[in-house]
Every structure is written in structure tokens, then in C-alpha cells.
Chain A
Amino acid sequence: MLKNNIKIAWRHILKNKFISAINFTGLVVGMVAVLFIWQYVAYEKNYDKIHENTDDVYRVSTDRVKDGVAFMKFAAGAACAAPVIAKNFPEVENYVKLVKSGDAIYKRKDKNEVTYQPEKVYFVMPSLFDIFSFPLAKGNTATCLSEPFSAVITESVAKKMFGDEDPIGKTLNRNNDSDYKITAIIKDAPQNSHIKFDILLSYITYSDVFNSDNNNTETGPYWDGFLSYLKLKSQTDWKDLESRIPAVMERTYDKETSESVVFHLQPFNDIHLNSNLLFETEPPGDGNAVNFLFLIGSLVLIIAWFNYVNLSTARSELRAKEVGVRKVIGSDRSSLIRQFMVEAALMNIIAILTALLLAQVLAPWFVNLIDKDIPMSIFSNLGLLSVVLAVFLLGTLLTGLYPAFLLSSFKPIHVLKGSSNQSKKNRGNWMRKGLVVFQFIASVGLIASTIIIYTQLDFMKDKKIGLDIEQTLVIKRPIVTDSTFTAKAKTFRKQLEKLSVAKNVTNSTSVPGQPFGMTVGASKWGNDEENFGFHAMCADFNYADTYDIELVAGRKLSKEMGNDQNSCILNELAVDVFQIETPEEALGLEINFWGDKLKVVGVVKNFHHEAPKSIMEPMILRGFGERFSPDYFSVKLNTKEIGQTMASVESIWKSLFSQNPIDYFFLDDHYDQQYNSETLFGKIFSLFSGLAILVSCLGLFALIAFVAERKKKEIGIRKVLGASIPSIVTMLSKDFIKLIFIALLIAIPLCWYLMNNWLDGFAERIDIQWWYFALAGLIAISIAILTMSYQSVKAALLNPVESLKTE
């Protein structure tokens, strides 16, 4: 019987080539969309899954709090966090701390010419290997980080620096000033791990050697930059533990400290998608965006499934005779249901095999689009196989069940007499209309959402950020430096100024688009008890001019004032933080900045040092003091002729910092990189919206073709009676246009609600305008009319003699 069912299903597919092709195309497009989106979602959701037993691991984040309000939240927080919590809570089984090491050039001690500049280096405690499961390639994880000046390198660093030689026992020199012995090699962490590194250095080097004179590395509440992970005993109620930390802080520190430093626990597995704090180890993922994309990927497939159901039920009259005959000669309802299910299963299985093949072929393109190194191999991934199976089973059930029940319910007496049951026909019609409405709700919603997403992206990019970042070349400071650096930096700056293409030059410790680099607890001089948190950076007198920052009161830092080493500028938010009424009143205020007495000489308008998607923060811009040196040299160019400019800059660099490769970027591009995740979201969203609309229109195209075919005789008669072509086109399409209008009415509030939620995630956002929906509706209706007009005009143009004869 199954054989018979498969045979007849196959023959049906071949016989109805047009409908089958529409169903097949829709299903394949939908399935490819789901396969891609699923791999992307799985990649994001499986972040950090290389580590076993992380259910009891938590990261400690640090909030800096003023008057009960957290004004800064750090992922890499206070030095004391983990030691204090571990000491006071027996529930803590173990903990590990990591501190990022600054940029450095590493050399092989035995072969000086082999150098490498790793991106990520941490000082880390040996317990890292007890808590996490980074796979070891060589060495002993129990001892490899227990001695000072030990280093663990990844396989790829080993390959780069040592080729086929065994690196264990060899020495790496860091920036010409310290040597580390390689004690172990570990495998590279996968891309989707939020703790990634090239080299690990023993934490004891940092705590007991570099900071031997100061035990703040374990007790300092204001020293940030320490990633702290706790392993709790299983079954520990972590929320309860978290709530008891403030009491411990009160016992350990004075009142001010315990009120201003607040720790939180973040479940390890939630970090990637749900944490976006200062000093994250990498740009965080966006859980909402991932869910959104999963939804629209699935929507494409659901629309394709609905096409199948629509076209199957629309064609039910054509299948009615077969159903009647089968019933008369002995088929019962269940065997008919089985038959129609087999048809759905066959179509789904052909589609999914094609989709798998297509997904494999298109995988490199998709990986390139999303710019993530996702392993897109279908056959190596068990999870994906289960998705394929789920898509197949769910698809077969959804596309097969309703047509199967509808068709098998036909009574042979009705169909053999040629009058299929009117009430069932109506039911099929209503269902079909409902599904068409759903498809258009999805299409209109997706078009409107795409418009809103792109408008928001443009809004952020075009927003006046309060800074001029155009035509600005930024050169990073050299990595390997010595005591002559400050003098050389001055020379470098002077020579840059001399370039004919340079309009302005400035040195600073940060540039727009980069984190400020410093967070400082500053107070009014003489009133140390009232400590406020600020972002801070050092810059020379030319910074405000180079970046065209608007002055509100006072003056800018000035060359004439000896570089204003003891002066600073505040932004308006910082004036508010000091609880000063007007910018003018802030002038002359003396503040305590890490023990330095700085005088406020000017107040500038708030500007977006980081992209407008994040909120603006209170900021102190201070002159360079003795202890600071520039990290960036910015050159405002008066030309777009880059080639010649760069050649001159490089030659100056070589004459001063020959040991270091030059590292530079153009600030506008660099600043725009902050929108990478939003741009990617927009790209994927619009791609899948396009697919959803394509599949919806395929369905509509087939439906109207079907209606035209069924109404061939009516069209013929109407034409004989004198109907015009436009009136026939209207007759055929008006029902669908009505449905699209209904869809529009439902889609608008739904889409408004969802997109409003999405926009709320931005510090500065657009307001949703009525015309976004008008435009979306217009686009959807135009596409639908174009789709329908081909079929309806074709039907209307048919010679009535032909259509009447065929009946």
C-alpha cells in the first residue's frame, strides 16, 4: 500500500508541474533559510559550550554606585571581588582571576628575529584549568601557571613562532623587558567562546612581582579590570548568595566603599547573549537579535508551508473524484489520510534534500555575509541532523494534515455526483483566506521592519555626534618603547605637524570610537569623601580643535599654559555629576584626580565619544601629566590623497620607531565599526524579509493562476457578454486585494509594537512614522498586483471560444 501511495504521490507531483514547482521552490527557499538561521542561532546559543560543568560557574561583575544608582558597570571589575567573596562564602569552591596584559611584542629568546604581536594576552591564575575545560595539547595544567614568568601558548601561536619545534621549556621575551618560560601548549579555543587568548601568563607574575609593593591586587575595591569567575558548589542558590554579598562588603570595607562598590553574579552560560558591560572580553552577542532572526528565518518556512496547504486545498475539487472513487471501492478515511500524508512527506523529503545540497553550496556565501567563522558543515553536526528531521516531520504534518483531513472528508455521493459539499468548500475557502492574510501580515510586517531598521541605522550613522571624525588619520603608539618614548613622541608629533597635508595634529590616550580607557573616582579638592565616577582621558591642547568639540564655557586646553598639565575640561554631564548648576560655575573648580590637583578650565558640550547607540557618560578630559604618555596620534588631513600622505607618515615613523610596525586607521571607518552588529542584523533581516516576500508571492501567483483556471468558463461568458479586460482583471484580483488590506490592518499595530521594543534598546532612536507602514503597504500591494496581473491579464486575454470549448 505504501508503495502504491508513493507511486501515486510521485505521479501527482509530475502531473501538476506548475503547482509542484511553486511548492518545491517555496519549501526549498524556506528550508535553506531555516538551515542557515539555525546554524547561526546554534552558534550563538552554544557559546562557551566547550567548557563542561559550567552550570555552577558565575562571573562577578562590578557596579560603581552613587546615591543608589549604578553609573558604571564593569565585566572586568574590582580586584577584590573574587577573593572577598570566596573568603566569606563556603559555597565558593574555587575561583579564577584574569587581567588583560597590554599590547606587546613577543620575541623568541633563542631566535630574536621571530616576533609576534598577539591580540589577547592575560595574566591568569592556575585555577583556570580547574574551572574551565580548555583542552591541553602538551604540558601539565596543574603546574604550568604556578611559577612566576610562566607562559602557556595556544597551538596556533606555537605554530607561528616555533614551527615544528617543541616550544616547551623555551623562552619568550616580552617588549624587551621580561622573559617567560613556556610551560604548556593548549588547543585554540573555538570562535564561540567568550574567553579567547593567544598567550596566558602566570598571574603570580602580575600580583607578586609587578605589584609586589601593593597587595591591592587581592583587596582593592577600586582597581578595575579583573575578570573574576567563581565556581560554586552544585545546588547553591546563587541569587541568595548574591544578595548576601553587600553584608560582607559592609563588614570588610568602610561605609562609603561598601555602598559604592556592588557586585553581581552572572551565570556563565548567559554572558555572551545577555551581558553588555564595560570591559567585556569581546563584543557581546545580542540575544534579542538572535531570537528575532530565528523568528523570521522560521517565518519564511512557515509561509512556504502555508503555500502548500493553500494550493492543496484549492485543488481539492480536482482531487475529489479520486477520493470518491477510492472510497466507493473500499478505502476508508484513514488510508486516504495516509495517502495524502505520503504525498506531503514526499514533497517535503525532496525539498529538504535539495535544501541541504543548496545550503552546502551557499554556505561560504552565508558565512561571508554574517562575517562569523561558523562551521557550516551539515554532515558533521548531529544537532543539524535533528533540525533536518524536525523540519521534515513538522513540515509533513503541517502541510499534510489539513489537506488530508479536508480531502478525505469528502463524501463519495457528493463528489461522484459532481457537487462537492458546499460547507466543506467554504471551510477550505476560509482557511485559505486566513492563510493568505497571515502571509501578508508577515510580508507587510517584514517590509515595514526593514524600513525601520535601516532608518534607525542611518539615523545613528548620520547623527551629529558632536565631533568631527572625517578625514582623520589615527596612528597607534608603538608597542615596544623605552625611556626615550616621550621625547620621540614629541618629535613625531612635530614632524606630523610639518606635513603639508596635516591641518591639525593631536595626541591623546583615547580617540572617538575607542573606550575612554580610564575610569576614575574623582572628587572636589578637599572633599575626598564625596567621590564621583567619570570616564577620563588625557589629551593635548589641540584635541578639542582637531575634533571640533564645541566649547560651552571657559577655554580649551592651551599650549601657552604649558600644555595645561594640571588643567582639565569637563563635559556638561560631568558638571551635573558635581552637582554644579551652570557650566560657568564649574570654571575654576579644583578636583582630585588620583591625587593630582586639576583645575577645571573649560566645559564642552556633550559629545558621542562612542557610537550613539550607547549613552553619553560624564567625562574628564585632562592635560598630559608626567605619568601619562600618548596612545594615539590623530592627524586631521586637508586632502583625500591618501597614498602620498601615508608614504610620508611611514617614513617619519621608521626614522623614530624602527623596531615597531606602524599601525593606523582612518577614524570614520573605525567609528562606523561600532555599528557592525546592527548593520549585520539589518543585512540578515532584509535578506530573509526578501525571501519571505518572494515565497508569499509565489503562493499568490499560483493561487490566482488556479482561480483564473477555475473561472475560465465564467471569463469566457463574461467576455461574450461584453466585459472589458480591466473588469475581468479586477474581478480576479479584488478578493486578494481585500485580503491584503485586512493583513495591513493587522500587521501595522503588531509591527509597531515589536519594532518599538527593538528601538527601545538604543540610547538615541527614531520615532516610528506613519509613512513607514504606508510605504510597506504600498510595496506589498504593488508586488502582489504585479504578481497577480500576469495571471489575470493572461486569463482575460484568452479567446472566449477557446475557454468555452474546453469546458
Chain B
Amino acid sequence: MIKTENLIKIYQTDDVETTALNEVNIEIKEGEFVSVMGPSGCGKSTLLNVLGMIDNPTSGHFYFNGSEVGSLPERKRSDVRKHNLGFVFQSFNLIDELTVYENVELPMLYTKVPSADRKKRVEELLEGMNIMHRAKHFPQQLSGGQQQRVAVARAIVNKPKLILADEPTGNLDSSNGDEVMKILSELNSTGTTILMVTHSQYCAEFGNRIIRMLDGQVVTENVVRQYL
């Protein structure tokens, strides 16, 4: 599903040049749950952003489902994104002015899903996440765990092939964190590919492969024990 060849990302500010990704070569197959780990500043979030097509690589190749997408213009990337990818962020990034229901519904407005189908899908997801009773509330009226469940529901509402999760449990206590990880695992078990950046070994082990990074490079790739 994803393949990168010599992926390089360099950030340039006035005098300083920072190499965030340095010749990264990875491959992720459909149905995999891959965790990316590494110390702060190692480039893992940059990798996630590049693979999530919200950032461009400086050089190298990035193939998504066999097509080169690394150099696509913003409009085309946006198109690929909205039909194939779902995002989960550490800080949830729900839109404060929209209710739970509307936040989950939003991606379907961009993919022009008919109204009746949207309603059915949102309700189905909110029921599944056990937050239907909060549908009319605004994000700031929810606990962190509830907010992240809404964010996950929003990420998967368009049934994406790949979910990119950036420290999805970072702002949650352990029980809420567990719950989110369970949801991600369940999604993976139904065929959704997941790429997750995390600091937590515990969370990383929910995946079936762990990529470790340091200074912008992939240092090791291990298959998680239970899959050995």
C-alpha cells in the first residue's frame, strides 16, 4: 500500500537546515498495523505527515497504492486524502463550533455522501463508539476519552483504507487510552491499515510491526512478539 524510496525531508529556516527525514525506505502492506517509535525530534511525526500527504517530501519517492504521490499538487493530494485516509491526532483536533454529530459528519460532506446515508453512518459509528447520547454536545463538553472516540469516529467515517494516528493516547489516561487502542485494533482486524506514531511501548505493541527511528532515519524494524 505504501512504499517509500530514499524519502528525505529537510526544513529550512533562516540559517538552520534540519533534516527531519533522511533516506527513509519503508513499506507498509495493506492490513498491517504499524507503530512508529523514537525519541522526540526523531522525525516520526514528519514521516506521518508526509505519508498522510499533508506535507511534501524534499526528495525521494512515495508510492501510495502503486502511484507516485509525493509530488502531487495540493488539490490532488487533498482528493487522495479525503477518499483514502483518516487522521487521529494527539490533541483530537475536533472543530469546537461543531457538535459531536457534525464533527463526525464533516468528512462525508467533502466526499458528497447523500444526506440519508450520512445520518445512518454517523449514528452507526456513534452507537459503536458508545457516544450516541453525546451527539448534540460540543467537543468542550466532553471528556478527553470521549473526544478521542469522536475523533476516531470522524477518521473512519469515510471508511478509509489507511488510518494515520499521531500519539492517539498521548492526552488520555490509561483506561481511556486502552479503549482507543482497542478500537484501533478492531478496525485493523476488519482490514483497515493503520500507521501509528507513539512514545509508548505498550501502545506500540498493539500493532504487528514496530519501526524505530533516530535522527530522521529508520534504525530497526521489528515484528511484534505475538506475531512472531
A332 at the interface (CB under 8 A from B): yes
With A and B bound together, what is the CA distance between A8 and B106 in angstroms?
12
B111 at the interface (CB under 8 A from A): yes
B89 at the interface (CB under 8 A from A): yes
Stretch at the interface among A199-207, A322-330, A575-583, A722-730: A322-330
B49 at the interface (CB under 8 A from A): yes
B214 at the interface (CB under 8 A from A): no
How far does the Cβ of A799 sit from chain B's closest Cβ, in whole Å?
25
Q: Determine the chain A residues whose CB is within 8 A of the CB of B96 once the complex forms.
A: 15, 322
How far does the Cβ of B75 sit from chain A's closest Cβ, in whole Å?
6
With A and B bound together, what is the CA distance between A329 and B153 in angstroms?
12
A328-B87 in contact given A8-B97, A412-B54, A416-B54 (Cβ < 8 Å):
yes
Q: Determine the chain B residues whose CB is within 8 A of the CB of A322 once the complex forms.
A: 95-97
Q: Looking at chain B, what size class is its interface with the partner chain?
A: 20 to 34
B209 at the interface (CB under 8 A from A): no
The answer to whether B78 touches A327, judged by C-beta atoms less than 8 angstroms apart, is: yes
Q: Which of B62-96 contact A (CB under 8 A)?
A: 74-75, 78-79, 81-83, 86-87, 89, 93-96
Q: Determine the chain B residues whose CB is within 8 A of the CB of A327 once the complex forms.
A: 54, 78
The answer to whether A326 touches B106, judged by C-beta atoms less than 8 angstroms apart, is: yes
The answer to whether A330 touches B97, judged by C-beta atoms less than 8 angstroms apart, is: no
Q: Name the CB-closest residue of A to B157.
A: A329
By secondary structure, the A interface counts as helix
Q: Determine the chain B residues whose CB is within 8 A of the CB of A424 once the complex forms.
A: none
Q: Determine the chain A residues whose CB is within 8 A of the CB of B78 once the complex forms.
A: 327, 330-332
What are the interface flags for A1-24 relative to B under an 8 Å C-beta threshold, 1 for contact and 0 otherwise? 100100110011001000000000
Q: Looking at chain A, what size class is its interface with the partner chain?
A: 20 to 34
A433 at the interface (CB under 8 A from B): no
How far does the Cβ of A500 sit from chain B's closest Cβ, in whole Å?
83
The answer to whether A15 touches B97, judged by C-beta atoms less than 8 angstroms apart, is: yes
Q: Which of B188-222 contact A (CB under 8 A)?
A: none
Q: Determine the chain B residues whose CB is within 8 A of the CB of A411 once the complex forms.
A: 54
What are the interface flags for A640-668 relative to B under an 8 Å C-beta threshold, 1 for contact and 0 otherwise? 00000000000000000000000000000
B26 at the interface (CB under 8 A from A): no
The answer to whether B81 touches A325, judged by C-beta atoms less than 8 angstroms apart, is: no
Q: Determine the chain B residues whose CB is within 8 A of the CB of A412 once the complex forms.
A: 54
B149 at the interface (CB under 8 A from A): no
Q: Which of A148-201 contact B (CB under 8 A)?
A: none
**Which of these, B55, B75, B95, contacts A332 with CB under 8 Å?**
B75
Q: Which of B78, B79, B111 has the most CB of A within 10 A?
A: B78
B145 at the interface (CB under 8 A from A): no
With A and B bound together, what is the CA distance between A416 and B78 in angstroms?
16
Q: Determine the chain A residues whose CB is within 8 A of the CB of B75 once the complex forms.
A: 332-333
With A and B bound together, what is the CA distance between A12 and B138 in angstroms?
13
With A and B bound together, what is the CA distance between A326 and B74 in angstroms?
14
With A and B bound together, what is the CA distance between A15 and B139 in angstroms?
14
The answer to whether B89 touches A416, judged by C-beta atoms less than 8 angstroms apart, is: yes
**Which of these, A11, A331, A332, A416, contacts B97 with CB under 8 Å?**
A11
The answer to whether B54 touches A413, judged by C-beta atoms less than 8 angstroms apart, is: yes
With A and B bound together, what is the CA distance between A329 and B84 in angstroms?
10
A321 at the interface (CB under 8 A from B): yes
With A and B bound together, what is the CA distance between A416 and B89 in angstroms?
9
How far does the Cβ of B30 sit from chain A's closest Cβ, in whole Å?
21
The answer to whether B102 touches A328, judged by C-beta atoms less than 8 angstroms apart, is: no
With A and B bound together, what is the CA distance between A331 and B87 in angstroms?
13
The answer to whether A329 touches B154, judged by C-beta atoms less than 8 angstroms apart, is: yes
**Which of these, B52, B55, B74, B110, contacts A330 with CB under 8 Å?**
B110
Q: Name the CB-closest residue of B to A11.
A: B97
The answer to whether A12 touches B82, judged by C-beta atoms less than 8 angstroms apart, is: no
How far does the Cβ of A321 sit from chain B's closest Cβ, in whole Å?
7
Q: Which of B74, B79, B155, B158 has the most CB of A within 10 A?
A: B74
A335 at the interface (CB under 8 A from B): yes
Q: Which of A1-49 contact B (CB under 8 A)?
A: 1, 4, 7-8, 11-12, 15
With A and B bound together, what is the CA distance between A11 and B95 in angstroms?
11
How far does the Cβ of A335 sit from chain B's closest Cβ, in whole Å?
7
The answer to whether A328 touches B110, judged by C-beta atoms less than 8 angstroms apart, is: no
Q: Determine the chain B residues whose CB is within 8 A of the CB of A330 once the complex forms.
A: 78, 81-83, 107, 110-111, 158
B223 at the interface (CB under 8 A from A): no
Q: Determine the chain B residues whose CB is within 8 A of the CB of A331 once the complex forms.
A: 78, 82, 110
What are the interface flags for A379-421 relative to B under an 8 Å C-beta threshold, 1 for contact and 0 otherwise? 0000000000000000000000000000000011100100000
With A and B bound together, what is the CA distance between A335 and B52 in angstroms?
20
Q: Determine the chain A residues whose CB is within 8 A of the CB of B86 once the complex forms.
A: 329
Q: Name the CB-closest residue of A to B94.
A: A325
Q: Which of A403-462 contact B (CB under 8 A)?
A: 411-413, 416
B109 at the interface (CB under 8 A from A): yes
With A and B bound together, what is the CA distance between A377 and B169 in angstroms?
63
Q: Name the CB-closest residue of A to B56.
A: A413
The answer to whether B95 touches A335, judged by C-beta atoms less than 8 angstroms apart, is: no
With A and B bound together, what is the CA distance between A327 and B79 in angstroms?
10
Q: Name the CB-closest residue of B to A324.
A: B93
With A and B bound together, what is the CA distance between A328 and B103 in angstroms?
13
What are the interface flags for A332-343 relative to B under an 8 Å C-beta threshold, 1 for contact and 0 otherwise? 110100000000
The answer to whether A328 touches B97, judged by C-beta atoms less than 8 angstroms apart, is: no
How far does the Cβ of B13 sit from chain A's closest Cβ, in whole Å?
9
Q: Determine the chain A residues whose CB is within 8 A of the CB of B110 once the complex forms.
A: 329-332, 335
| A/B interface sample: 21 pairs, CB < 8 A | A1-B109, A4-B109, A11-B97, A11-B98, A15-B97, A321-B93, A325-B94, A326-B95, A327-B54, A328-B52, A328-B54, A329-B106, A329-B107, A329-B110, A330-B78, A330-B82, A330-B107, A330-B110, A413-B54, A416-B54, A416-B89
Q: Which 4 pairs show the lowest CB-CB distances between chains A and B?
A: A330-B82, A330-B110, A11-B97, A413-B55
Query: Known pairs A328-B81, A329-B106, A329-B155. 14 more at Cβ < 8 A?
Result: A1-B109, A8-B98, A11-B97, A324-B93, A325-B95, A326-B106, A327-B78, A328-B52, A328-B87, A330-B78, A330-B110, A330-B111, A412-B54, A416-B89
